[in-house]
Chains A and B, each alone.
Chain A
Amino acid sequence: MRYIWLIPLLPLFGAAVNGLFGIRSFSRRTAGAFATAMMLGALGLSLVAFWQLLGLPADARAYDANMLEWIPKIPLATHDGIGNFEVTWGFRLDPLSAMMILVVTGIGTLIHIYSTGYMVDEPRGGYVRFFTYLNLFCFFMLMLVLGNNFLVMFVGWEGVGLCSYLLIGYWYEKKSASDAGKKAFITNRVGDWGFILGVFLIYYTFGTLDFRAVQNAAAALPVETAQFGVLSLICLLLFVGATGKSAQIPLYVWLPDAMEGPTPVSALIHAATMVTAGVYMLGRNAVLFQQAPQVMTIVAIVGVLTALMAASIGLVQYDIKRVLAYSTVSQLGYMFTAMGVGAFSAGAFHLMTHAFFKALLFLGSGSVIHAMAGEQDMRRMGALKKHMPVTFVTMLIGTLAIAGIFPLSGFFSKDEILFRAFLANKAVWVIAVITAFMTAFYMFRLVSMTFFGNYRGPAWETGSHGAVATAAAHGVKHPADPQAHGQAHKVDHEVSHGPADADAAHDGHGSGHGPWHGPHESPRAMTFPLQALAVGAVIAGFLGIPTALGGGNAIEHFLEPSFTAQHRAESAINPQSEIHNPQSEEPHASRGVELGLMALSLMVAIGGIAIAYRFYVTHPETSESLAERFAGAHRTLSNKYYVDELYGATVISGTFAAARNLWTVDRTVVDGAVNGAGWLTVISSWFSGLTDKGVVDGLVNLVGWIVQEGSQGFRRLQTGLVQNYAMVMLLGIFAFVTVYLFVR
């Protein structure tokens, strides 16, 4: 545990080495292996730290490591006088962060391994750059989850946003990718604005930024049930930050577009880790949120509405990654619902199980895209299960897990959330159940369209040289990008095995796929992470078997100390100490109700699967006729409720208009002032020139003129006649003689 500071530093070291030297000189194999080794090291250290943490008694499971002074003591105003603003590079290992580092390093390692196979068609420099970013991301994510104060967390928070931007725009020569990167970054800035304001307010209120100190101080304040006080404001601002990072209403729009990035990135950043940062942050500040029930209600409402909205959009998407993206938004909504109803452990539990099965699904979809030579449109897939059995089986496991089929992991975590929602608020519960139905439906729709039915994709080359088949294989276009049709350039596809890449392969270091030979199973480096994650998706749920099923709900008890303030955890020792569970004051539902709810959610999930199977496998025409019958609704869903258009019409065009107005102000007022000053200078210097000419030159000329005019008389004396001069001389002599003789 003493070495937890190494956990983030190892990926940083990997990113530094790969970034500084690797992009120039490392081979693909070296760079990939090095980055993966760093992640493996971090995973090993995390496992050791976790093991040591488990060895401690339950209420002592916290370890603070203040490594370095970051900001020395600065006097800074708080609401009660001048406080000392002091921040250290401190890490904190407690059950919540231990779980998070295991998720980040574990799934991160698997995705590094997967990427070595998936990205192999990239040019060497880009390949190394990818691993540099990936390692850098893991560093920031680990900083985020390990930081023991808000500022270290903020460093990680911003860093993962940066890496997300870099990785979404990994194919930066493709306009849609760089646009998506910018969209993600700018949308996240809105959230970060809320987060940093929240941090300012926390310092102003409590005089410290340390998590534990803030929690203890907050726990001493009264619960703000009636009024909307400072704690509620802090929580609301933090929640704004969480909506940005975790893609909740109203800031979720960036996540579906973020699918422009490579699929491993979508799996790691936009499904398993970074987007859960908001959930983690809420869990980290659970004590604060428990003091602000009104904000908790907002969190629950926003969460459940996001879950419903995203799930409904996911019903009609055809891009395999977009379905998963909306599914991610929806599942994040679930987690926020859990947080909002006070079930922090359930939310964190779902975070973990979701990380497993969503990473699995994304990697599986990446495998499918890889097999289909960059095709992402599910309408051009089908019947892939016989071509890629490993991907099919693992994705099926992931789908069943996310749909909540007993006894896979999604069942336990989702059911826990549903149960707690049922106890807290029946309306939230109803929406959540509807969402669960939709989840099962759209996930099975994905599987059905991809793996079952008839093959609808392009033909492929079976013989040696079939130019037609190659062209057909290559003419596959991105559904969102009809202009790209026919441009045989690899930026059109996420993964291309077409001629454009064959050129690279001839350079000697490509993998040399050559012409496309039809859908095929992915290489070992890609299937191994799928299998590992599938195992995780199956067994992760057993950590949280609810008591109603005879389990101990181990993870809830493990995580609980992270969600309570210190003195509460201490008071939990005495017998009537259910107080540490905020919901325990409400009437506990009986075991029968809990079991009934489980059966209900299971039935809902099976119902969703059955309908999807009927629509997309046995009776494929049903879905089309339904889409025609409810054309309006279908169009609305296909266009994602026109939210992008709404934002475009309001926020974005408003920003543009404001910018244009500011530009006009710039042009007229600021430039006008500058130009006016210039004009004034010209005018005044013109007058100054006049003065120079008139007064100064005039004086000089006047002197000359006086001398000239005055000399007119004297010049007459100089006649040039020698006799005159002699005359004058003589007269002078006479005068002197006269004076000499008479005046003397």
Chain B
Amino acid sequence: MITPTHYMLLSAALFIIGVVGVMVRRNIIIIFMSIELILNAVNINLIAYSAQLQNLVGQVFAIFVIAVAAAEAAVGLGIILAFYRNKETVNIDEMNLMKF
């Protein structure tokens, strides 16, 4: 029987993987994918509780998050593309322009 705990564990695992990916990877595309992991971990949580609590708001919210993620992906990829054209790199260590 799959209980909410299982969903929770899956969600937590995905979240941790996403966070670690954001922290440790240098390729910005990978980091972007890790962020998608984090968002989807959250979506799993929302849907699991929606089912558990018999409340549709959670599913609506999940779809909303997916839409925001799509928009975010569009903007983020645009930025990455522009950056790549200027610096010819996708290494995040090179991206330290926003400091003093």
B contact set with A: CB distance below 8 Å: 19, 22-23, 31, 92-93, 95-100
Closest Cβ neighbor of B98 among chain A residues:
A720
Q: Is the C-beta of A727 less than 8 angstroms from some C-beta in chain B?
A: yes
Task: Note all chain A residues with C-beta closer than 8 A to B100.
Answer: 715, 718
The CA-CA distance from A726 to B92 in the complex, in Å, is 13
A699 in the interface (beta carbon within 8 A):
no
10 nearest A-B residue pairs (beta carbon): A720-B99, A720-B96, A715-B100, A720-B98, A718-B99, A721-B96, A718-B100, A719-B99, A726-B22, A720-B97
Q: Of all chain A residues, which has the CB nearest B97?
A: A720
Which residue of chain B is the closest to A725 with respect to CB atoms? B98
- Are A726 and B96 within 8 A (Cβ)? no
Cβ-defined contact, A723 with B99, below 8 A:
no
Among A715, A718, A721, A723, the residue within 8 A (CB) of B22 is: A723
**Least Cβ distance of A714 to chain B in Å?**
9
Interface residues of A in 711-744 (CB under 8 A from B): 715, 718-723, 726-727, 730
Query: In the assembled complex, how far is the CB of residue A705 from the closest CB belonging to chain B, in whole angstroms?
Result: 18
A–B complex contacts, Cβ < 8 Å, 8 sampled: A715-B100, A720-B95, A720-B96, A721-B92, A723-B22, A726-B22, A727-B23, A730-B19
Q: Which residue of B lies closest to A716 (CB)?
A: B100
Contact A721 B23 (CB under 8 A): no
A232 to chain B, nearest CB (A): 104
CA distance A718 to B96 in the complex (A): 10
A713 to B85, CA, bound (A): 34
A726 and B23 in contact, given A721-B92, A721-B93 (Cβ under 8 angstroms): yes
Q: Which residue of B lies closest to A721 (CB)?
A: B96
Contacts of A723 in B (CB 8 A): 22-23, 31, 92
Complex CA–CA separation, A578 to B32 (angstroms)? 148
Tell me whether B92 and A722 are in contact (CB under 8 A): yes
Residues B95 and A721 in contact, CB atoms below 8 Å apart:
yes
| B22 to A, closest residue via Cβ | A726
- List chain B residues, Cβ under 8 A from A727: 23
**Beyond known contacts A718-B99, A719-B99: 12 more, CB 8 A cutoff:** A715-B100, A720-B96, A720-B98, A721-B92, A722-B92, A723-B22, A723-B23, A723-B31, A723-B92, A726-B22, A726-B23, A730-B23
- B93 surroundings in chain A (CB, below 8 A): 721
Q: Which residues of B contact A721 (CB under 8 A)?
A: 92-93, 95-96
A725 to chain B, nearest CB (A): 10
Alpha-carbon gap, A718 to B98, bound state (A): 8
CA distance A719 to B93 in the complex (A): 10
In the complex, which residues of chain A have a beta carbon less than 8 angstroms from the beta carbon of B96? 719-721
Whole-angstrom distance between the Cβ of A675 and the nearest chain B Cβ: 57
Interface membership of chain A positions 169-213, coded 1 if the CB is closer than 8 angstroms to chain B and 0 otherwise: 000000000000000000000000000000000000000000000
Report the separation of the CA atoms of residues A723 and B31 in the bound assembly, to the nearest whole angstrom: 10
**In the complex, A435→B98 CA distance in Å?**
122
The CA of A715 and the CA of B100, in the complex, are separated in Å by 7
| A437 → chain B closest CB, angstroms | 121
Residue of A nearest to B19 (CB): A730
User: How many angstroms between the C-alpha atoms of A580 and B95 in the bound complex?
Assistant: 133
- Bound-state Cα–Cα, A730 to B24, Å: 13
B54 → chain A closest CB, angstroms = 30
Q: Is the CB of B95 within 8 A of A722?
A: yes
What chain A residues lie within 8 Å of B95 (beta carbons)?
Answer: 720-722
Bound-state CA distance A653–B31 (Å) is 110
Rounded to whole Å, the gap between the CB of B18 and the closest CB of chain A is 11
Q: In chain A, what residue has the closest Cβ to B26? A: A723
A residues in contact with B31, CB < 8 Å: 723
B91 to chain A, nearest CB (A): 11
Q: How far is the CA of A722 from the CA of B24 in the complex (A)?
A: 11
Chain B residues contacting A720 (CB-CB under 8 Å) are 95-99
